[in-house]
Amino acid sequence: MLSYRHAFHAGNHADVLKHTVVVQLLRYLNQKDKPYWYIDTHAGAGAYSLKEGYATKTAEFETGIAKLWKRTDLPSAVSDYVDEVAALNADGELHFYPGSPYLAWRLLRTQDRLRLFELHSTEIEVLRHNFRDAGRRAMLYDGDGFNGVKALLPPATRRALMLVDPSFEDKRDYASTLTCIEASLQRFATGMYAIWYPQVARPESQRFPEQLKRLQERNWLHVALTVSRPPEDGFGLFGSGMFIINPPYTLAATMKETLPWLVKTLGVDETAQFRIEYRGD
Residues 28 and 97: their CA atoms lie apart, in Å, by 23
Rounded to whole angstroms, how far apart are CA atoms 184 and 198? 22
Contact present, 211 and 274 (Cβ < 8 Å): no
Is residue 24 within 8 Å of 248, Cβ to Cβ?
yes
**φ, ψ for residue 45, nearest 5 deg:** -90, -15
Cβ burial, residue 54 (10 Å; 0-12/13-18/19+): middle
Catalogue the active-site residues.
Answer: 165
Asked if residues 189 and 218 have their Cβ atoms less than 8 Å apart, the reply is: no
| DSSP 8-state assignment for residue 17 | H
